[in-house]
């Protein structure tokens, strides 16, 4: 149905795609794999008409696709769901599904027909429980994704491209997603599925195409190909060991959190982080983990409770004081919260520690040298301190944020989804860095949705559920299954509609 | 990967904008010299242009910091009028230049602090807070002395022609080494502004807050303090501009400073500082001020009416904003 032949895309100074071949058949799930920067996003953008390829061809049902014409791609049945869902949160479900092509009666929107058609599409996806009149804001991420898929179907999509659809979902929600994908392929829709999680590919994929350095490393091989082989194709070598030896911990208490509360997300949480340990917090998306980290740092105002760093009580709502006391946060969304994307790496690294370079005036040269040293020590690529943060891949952007806190010599590092959107090889590197930091005496508090990685590197793991810490598991004995069992409420079914408090 | 191309263009465009603006300044000067060879390329005319530019220039330096935080200050023109009249009634009928300067600058800083308080503690958006001050300060300027201007001619032996050093008029019409005192002050403030913006922690924080407030906060930038400071700074610059204006005119008028905010914002924007925040250039602001000064001097000498000048001014600002965001065109 969709055929890509010898696709080339040049950006000034960068060859993003150098001859990619790729095809999607009717009713299959075709997985697209590749490390960060391999060209997956560029390929999708070419196919969806967002950017114009420099060479090669894209055929839909044998017909060439008009370049740089997103509407044309949609009209030919090629729809894309990006990682950041592009829904308008304040509009209701029906408006979102038909955004931009609302059914009309005369000059007016035909509301009744729009709601009816939306309901029919949701029924087709097995989600008739989602009310087309609800605002999208009231839906959980998995349900929002279903709405996005319904939107794609409203264009009569025959090829559906999904860019890391599982990244924002927790384990239960991923099941929902897989079921929807199953329904689509049964109807004959071809699905392009992009993910960094190799286990998912095994579960729902039919065939796999691997991209590496802008070229096709493997074209349409069966999804049953052994994992080691897939990793080898992706990174060009073997990743020997994903998880380094976990730190032992057991130092003095650096961070004390007592009864921290901000309703509705965090309902009273207490924990201690010791020097030299990695304390993990697992749980489902929406269980309040990120909010807890933000409260600890004073980014949001706490309603009750206290935070102490090395015995010193932190003022509420003052992240600058928290940082002065020795905290550092690598936030979940690096692009919107971690980095100043239009700044060079130097400024991104030194922003939290300018006092070090300032004696009235800033010593810009010294600043640059210090930043470069930190970036090099973490093997950031590129480590040129004059490059702009926007140009780096996700994993390397994470290293820039880590460099910032290393320079600052923070005592407690808070990591929120440290490896989200990062490929396997870089993940292994980040684990190594974080474990190294803990071994050097820093206390690390890490939040992750990938329960496997918590079980892999943490000294201890706490599990958060509905705003409370409900279990503590020794890292060495933790398994993904056990953590998941704590994370899901014993009784609650998969209710996708949040109660609006 | 997506925006690599667009970004390169934009980075190129940033430096390009500074160079291009430098070329525009030169081209305008050459054009003027060709069109009006007797009057335009003269030392008198250059001095005149710079003197006129200095008042807007000082305001534009403050405005650069405000805009870098993705804010705006619409009240600077009104603050100039109010601060002038306030300083004027302090020294009327008798007083010293020093008292006038302290009064005018102090009053403008006070008004700027009110802006800052409303914006940071009251959480009023800058556009509205300073629009309110635009009206309040103009009203105060008219109220303080019953809509009448205050004469300031003879403060500390000032007189047109040869004002005594440190008389008020000396700041407006006096010269040091052949260059008007007001131009010295303007240049000093531009250089000070450049250092503050590019070589201090405060300047770095200002741009960080404008670039990504949330990321800046998470990195420990005291966001509120920074935003507060830029509006106080803008008030301070308005105070200095007041002194330069009153010193040139020899009086403080409640209707002076009209629409100065537009000139200042226009100069900052054509200089290349991003209205969306996160990118600021003091060199660009300086060149922007010069560009405006050259264009209006040239248009005046070509006997084009002030109405045409106004239309031109608006068109230039619009064009500059369009050029600034090539990636937003669709």
Residue pLDDT tens, chain B, 330 long: 344 444 444 444 456 667 778 888 888 889 888 888 888 888 888 888 898 899 999 999 999 999 999 999 999 999 999 999 999 888 877 778 888 899 999 999 999 999 999 999 999 999 999 999 999 999 999 998 888 888 776 666 656 666 777 777 788 778 888 888 899 999 999 999 999 999 999 999 999 999 999 999 999 999 999 999 999 999 999 999 999 999 888 888 898 988 899 999 999 998 888 888 888 999 999 999 999 899 888 888 888 888 888 888 888 888 877 776 554 333
Q: Is A337–B214 a contact, with Cβ atoms under 8 angstroms apart?
A: yes
Query: Tokens 């010069």, residue?
Result: B290
Q: Is B219–A352 a contact, with Cβ atoms under 8 angstroms apart?
A: yes
Q: What is the mean pLDDT of residues A74-100?
A: 86
The Cα–Cα gap between A315 and A298 comes to: 8
The Cα–Cα gap between A373 and A82 comes to: 36
pLDDT at residue A364 greater than cutoff 60:
yes
pLDDT in tens, B149-191: 887 766 666 566 667 777 777 887 788 888 888 999 999 999 9
The Cα–Cα gap between B63 and A395 comes to: 38
pLDDT given for residue B108 in this prediction:
96
Tokens standing for residue B325: 């965001």
Q: How do beta strands A190-194 and A207-212 pair? A: unpaired
Contacts of B187 (CB under 8 A, 6+ apart): none
Closest CA relative to residue B172, chosen from B234, B104, B240: B240
pLDDT in tens, A472-481: 999 888 888 7
Give A349's pLDDT tier (boundaries 50, 70, 90): very high
Of B1, B11, B219, the CB nearest to A351: B219
B305 touches chain A (CB under 8 A): no
Sheet strands (E) in A320-436? 327-330, 358-359, 361-362, 412-416
The Cα–Cα gap between A453 and A435 comes to: 12
The Cα–Cα gap between B25 and B20 comes to: 9
How close does chain B come to A311, measured CA to CA in Å? 20
- The residues that bridge with A10 in the sheet, in sequence order, are A15
Q: What is the mean pLDDT of residues A453-459?
A: 91
Judged by average pLDDT, the poorest of A49-63, A259-273, A336-350, B9-23 is: B9-23
- Residue A339 parent element (H or E): none
Query: Tokens 């100065």, residue?
Result: B260
Q: What is the mean pLDDT of residues A349-372?
A: 90
Q: Which residues of A touch B324 (CB under 8 A)?
A: none
Q: Is residue B253 a contact partner of residue B84, using CB atoms and an 8 Å limit?
A: yes
pLDDT given for residue A171 in this prediction:
73
Of B8, B204, B279, the CB nearest to A354: B204
Q: Is B199–A361 a contact, with Cβ atoms under 8 angstroms apart?
A: yes
Q: Is residue B210 a contact partner of residue B70, using CB atoms and an 8 Å limit?
A: yes
Structure ipTM over 0.85, yes or no: no
Helix intervals (H) in A92-170: 93-97, 111-124, 141-154
Q: Map out the domains of chain A with their CATH numbers.
A: 2-235 (3.40.50.300), 243-326+411-491 (3.40.50.300), 340-409 (no CATH)
Which of B157-165's residues contact partners 24+ apart within 8 Å by CB, and which partners?
A: B158/B97, B158/B250, B160/B250
Contacts of A166 (CB under 8 A, 6+ apart): A174, A177, A195, A197, A200
Taking all residues of chain A, what is their mean pLDDT, rounded to a whole number?
86
Helices (H) and strands (E) in chain B, counts: 13, 4
Q: Map out the domains of chain B with their CATH numbers.
A: 24-323 (1.10.3470)
The Cα–Cα gap between A32 and A42 comes to: 12
pTM comes to: 0.78
Determine the distance from the C-alpha atom of residue A401 to the mean position of all C-alpha atoms in its chain, rounded to a whole number.
16
Give A257's pLDDT tier (boundaries 50, 70, 90): very high
Q: Is B217–A319 a contact, with Cβ atoms under 8 angstroms apart?
A: yes
Tokens standing for residue A455: 């079980």
The Cα–Cα gap between A57 and A59 comes to: 6
pLDDT in tens, A369-382: 999 998 988 888 88
For B14, the closest chain A residue by CA position comes to A342
Helix/strand/coil for B4: helix
Helix/strand/coil for B256: coil
Helix/strand/coil for B290: helix
Q: Is residue B63 a contact partner of residue B274, using CB atoms and an 8 Å limit?
A: no
Interface of A with B in 307-326 (CB under 8 A): 319-320, 322-324
Ramachandran angles phi, psi of A237, nearest 5°: -155, 175
Q: Is A342–B279 a contact, with Cβ atoms under 8 angstroms apart?
A: yes
Q: Is A331–B218 a contact, with Cβ atoms under 8 angstroms apart?
A: yes
- The residues that bridge with A64 in the sheet, in sequence order, are A59
């Amino acid at each position: 149905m969709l055929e890509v032949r010898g696709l080339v895309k040049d950006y000034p100074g960068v060859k993003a795609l150098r001859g990619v071949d790729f095809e999607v058949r009717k009713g299959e799930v075709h997985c697209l794999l590749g490390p960060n920067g391999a060209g997956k996003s560029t390929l999708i953008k070419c196919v969806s008409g967002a950017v114009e390829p420099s060479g090669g061809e894209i055929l839909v049902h044998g017909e060439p696709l008009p370049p740089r014409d997103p509407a044309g791609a949609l009209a030919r049945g090629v729809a894309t769901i990006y990682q950041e869902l592009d829904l308008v949160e304040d509009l209701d479900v029906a408006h979102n599904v038909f955004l931009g092509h609302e059914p009309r009666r005369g000059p007016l929107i035909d509301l009744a027909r729009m709601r009816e058609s939306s309901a029919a599409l949701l029924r087709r996806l097995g989600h008739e429980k989602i009310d087309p009149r609800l605002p999208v804001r009231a839906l959980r991420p998995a349900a929002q994704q279903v709405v996005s898929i319904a939107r794609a179907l409203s264009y009569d999509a025959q090829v559906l491209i999904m860019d890391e659809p599982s990244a924002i979902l927790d384990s239960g929600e991923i099941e929902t997603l897989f079921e929807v994908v199953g329904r689509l392929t049964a109807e004959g829709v071809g699905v392009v599925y992009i993910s960094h999680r190799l286990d998912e590919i095994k579960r729902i994929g039919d065939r796999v195409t691997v991209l590496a350095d802008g070229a096709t490393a493997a074209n349409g091989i069966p999804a049953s190909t052994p994992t080691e082989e897939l990793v080898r194709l992706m990174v060009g070598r073997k990743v020997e060991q994903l998880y380094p030896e976990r730190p032992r911990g057991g130092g003095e208490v650096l961070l004390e959190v007592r009864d921290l509360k901000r309703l509705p997300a965090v309902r009273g949480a207490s924990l201690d982080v010791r020097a030299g340990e990695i304390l993990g917090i697992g749980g489902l998306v929406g269980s309040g983990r990120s909010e807890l980290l933000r409260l600890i740092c004073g980014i949001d105002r706490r309603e009750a409770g206290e935070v102490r760093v090395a015995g010193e009580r932190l003022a509420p709502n003052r992240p600058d004081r928290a940082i002065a006391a020795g905290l550092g946060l690598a936030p979940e969304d690096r692009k919107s919260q971690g980095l100043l994307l239009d700044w060079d790496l130097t400024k991104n690294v030194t922003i939290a520690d300018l006092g070090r370079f300032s004696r009235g005036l800033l010593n810009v040269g010294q600043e640059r040298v210090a930043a470069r040293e930190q970036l090099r020590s973490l093997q950031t690529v590129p480590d040129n301190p004059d490059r702009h943060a926007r140009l780096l891949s996700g994993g390397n952007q994470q290293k820039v944020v880590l460099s910032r806190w290393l320079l600052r010599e923070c005592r407690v590092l808070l990591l929120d989804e440290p490896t989200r959107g990062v490929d396997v090889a870089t993940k292994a590197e980040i684990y190594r860095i974080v474990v190294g930091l803990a071994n050097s005496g820093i206390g690390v508090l890490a939040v992750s949705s990938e329960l496997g990685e918590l079980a892999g590197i943490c000294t201890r793991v706490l599990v958060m559920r509905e705003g409370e810490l409900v279990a503590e598991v020794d890292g060495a004995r933790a398994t993904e299954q056990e953590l998941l069992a704590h994370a899901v409420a014993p009784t609650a079914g998969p209710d996708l509609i949040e109660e609006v408090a | 990967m997506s925006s690599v191309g667009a970004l390169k263009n934009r980075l190129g465009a940033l430096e390009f904008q500074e160079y291009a603006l430098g070329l525009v300044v030169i081209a305008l000067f050459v054009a003027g010299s060709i069109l009006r060879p007797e009057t335009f390329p003269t030392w008198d005319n250059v001095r005149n242009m710079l003197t006129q530019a200095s008042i807007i220039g000082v305001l534009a330096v403050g405005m650069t910091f405000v805009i870098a935080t993705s804010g705006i200050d619409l009240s600077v023109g009104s603050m100039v009028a109010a601060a002038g009249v306030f300083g004027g009634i302090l020294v009327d009928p008798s007083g010293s230049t020093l008292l006038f300067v302290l009064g005018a600058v102090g009053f403008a800083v006070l008004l700027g602090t009110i802006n800052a308080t409303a914006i940071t503690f009251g959480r009023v958006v800058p556009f509205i807070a300073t629009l309110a001050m635009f009206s309040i300060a103009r009203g105060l300027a008219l109220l303080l002395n019953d809509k009448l201007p205050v004469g300031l001619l003879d403060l500390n032996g000032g007189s047109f022609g040869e004002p005594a050093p440190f008389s008020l008029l000396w700041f407006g019409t006096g010269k040091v080494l052949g260059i008007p005192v007001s131009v010295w002050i303007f240049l000093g403030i531009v250089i000070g502004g450049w250092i503050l913006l590019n070589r201090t922690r405060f300047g770095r924080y200002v741009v960080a807050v404008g670039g990504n407030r949330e990321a800046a906060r998470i990195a420990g930038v005291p966001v509120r303090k920074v935003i507060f400071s830029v509006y106080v700074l803008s008030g301070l610059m308005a105070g200095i501009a007041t002194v330069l204006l009153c010193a040139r005119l020899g009086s403080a008028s409640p209707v002076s400073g009209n629409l100065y905010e537009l000139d200042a914002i226009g100069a900052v924007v054509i200089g290349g500082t991003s209205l969306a925040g996160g990118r600021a250039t003091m060199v660009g602001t300086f060149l922007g001020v010069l560009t405006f000064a050259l264009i209006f001097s040239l248009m005046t000498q070509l006997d084009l009416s002030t109405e045409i000048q106004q239309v031109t001014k608006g068109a230039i600002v619009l064009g500059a904003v369009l050029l600034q965001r090539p990636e937003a065109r669709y």
